[in-house]
Amino acid sequence: MVNKQSTANISVQDMIKQNKKKKNIGNGIEKFVPIFLLLCAIVSVLTTIGILFTLLRETFSFFSDVSLVDFYFGTHWSPWTDHFGVAPLIAGTLLISFIAICVAVPIGLASAIYLSEYATERTRKVIKPILEVLAGIPTVVYGFFALTFVSPLLGNIFSEMRIFNALSAGIVVGIMIIPMIASLSEDAMSAVPHSLRDGALGLGATRFEVAIKVVLPAALSGIIASIVLALSRAVGETMIVTIAAGATPNLTFNPTESIQTLTAFIVQGATGDTSFHSIIYKSIYAVGFTLFIFTLIMNILSQYISRRFKEDY
């Protein structure tokens, strides 16, 4: 009996010691994890500061040689002949973004309404991943799709269409951002309580009326935020417009003509032919800073809209 009791006592003591060791290890991990997460946050902040510092340093150096007024209000862009009017690049960027939004918003919202209000759970699980596959296709593939398929197709409709044009590039950019609008809008609409739908149906509304007059206004903040984010994605798109839209900085809003965007010039200028610290090299940073301002404004606008029109249920 004595041996059995002592064995039992030893076993309990060992278990207590093991539990203490586990607690010590757990406490060590608990102390280490916040430090590791803080270091990750610091690295992210320092990286952002480094990018801004590099961008602003070269941009200010550029504006010491080129007038700010001439840069933003000039209508002729040809850095190799000392013409630095960025208006044609801004016009090309806005034209591509406008075409993309005109394509993506109707299709994206229609897809979101179907997935949220009409599709069964089984259908949603099949269609939504297929739709989101579009977001995983490399943009260079989209660019060659626009150049080799969409442009010749549109050329059969518009006789004055050039092989490099804004319309085909804008349409394909719109196709690329459809998953962003559809997925985020569907998430916002699915978050609307079913009690609102049931109440509207009980009052005699059809499913389409419920979707348009009840669910859509209730999810308005999420939908608008998704559109703004998709627009910022379209503004920053590079490969599609570089391949399909051409490299002609025209101050035009004719979608059948070749244009050049802010990102397309950055690709063109960042080649081995551009000498380091030359005025053309610095102009890349000035154009990049302009693009940064565009996307920053859109992100701030998206956050403002989300807070301003947010509905809590």
The rounded percent of the chain whose pLDDT value lies above 90 is: 14
Residues 216/251, Cβ–Cβ less than 8 Å: no
Surface-to-core class of residue 94, CB atoms within 10 Å of its CB (0-12 exposed, 13-18 middle, 19+ buried): middle
Distance CA 139, CA 233 (A): 12
Give first-to-last CA distance, the chain, whole Å: 66
Average pLDDT, the chain: 83
Question: Is 285:276 a contact under the CB 8 Å cutoff?
Answer: no
pLDDT at 14: 64
> 38 - beta bridge partners?
none
**20 contacts: CB under 8 Å, gap ≥ 6:** none
Which of helix, strand or coil describes residue 214? Answer: helix
- C-alpha–C-alpha distance, residues 171 and 102, integer Å: 9
One-letter amino acid at 113 equals I
Cα dist from 291 to 54, 88, 151, 294, whole Å: 15, 14, 26, 5
What digits encode the pLDDT tens for the residues 43-63? 988 998 988 888 888 888 888
* pLDDT tens by residue, 140-165: 999 999 999 999 898 888 877 888 89
For the chain, 313 residues long, give each residue's pLDDT as a single digit of tens.
445 444 444 566 666 666 666 665 656 677 777 888 889 889 988 998 988 888 888 888 888 888 888 888 888 888 888 888 889 999 999 999 999 999 999 999 998 999 888 888 888 888 888 887 877 888 899 999 999 999 989 888 887 788 889 999 999 999 999 988 998 888 888 888 888 888 888 888 888 888 888 888 888 888 888 898 899 889 888 889 989 888 888 888 888 888 989 888 888 877 766 677 788 888 888 998 998 888 888 888 877 877 776 666 5
The span from the CA of 190 to the CA of 219, in Å, is: 9
Token digits of residue 186: 């569907």
